[in-house]
Homo-oligomer: A and B are copies of this chain.
Amino acid sequence: MPATATQAPRTLIPLVEAELARLVGSGEDLLEMACLDALFPTGKLLRPTLCIESARAVGGRAEPVLSFAAAIECLHVASLVHDDIVDQDPMRRGRASTAERFGLAEALLAGDGLFTAGWVAMLRTGPAGPVLEASRAVAEAMHAMCRASMLETTIREDLSCGRSAVLEVIRGKTAALTGAACQAGAILAAATPEQAEALRQYGELLGTAFQIRDDLLPYTAQDRITGKRATSDVANRQPTLPVLLAYESAGEPDRRLLTRVFHGDADPATAHRDLLDVLTRTGAIAEATRQAHRCVARAREALDGLPSTERLARLADSAVDRHR
Contact = CB atoms under 8 A, between A and B. Distances in A.
A131 to B, nearest CB: 6
Interface string A97-137: 00000001110111011011101100110101101100110
A78 to B, nearest CB: 9
A151 interface: yes
Contact of A113 (B112, B115, B126, B146): B146
Q: How many copies does the complex hold?
A: 2
Chain A contact residues, majority secondary structure: helix
Given A116-B146, A120-B143, A128-B129, 7 more contacts: A30-B151, A82-B109, A106-B150, A112-B146, A113-B147, A117-B143, A128-B128
Interface residues of A, number: 42
8 contacts: A29-B150, A82-B112, A105-B153, A113-B147, A116-B146, A119-B142, A119-B143, A132-B132
B85 A105 contact: yes
B30 A109 contact: no
Given A105-B86, A143-B113, A150 B31 contact: yes
Interface in A130-167: 131-132, 135-136, 139-140, 142-143, 145-147, 149-151, 153-154
A30 B148 CA distance: 10
A119 B116 contact: no
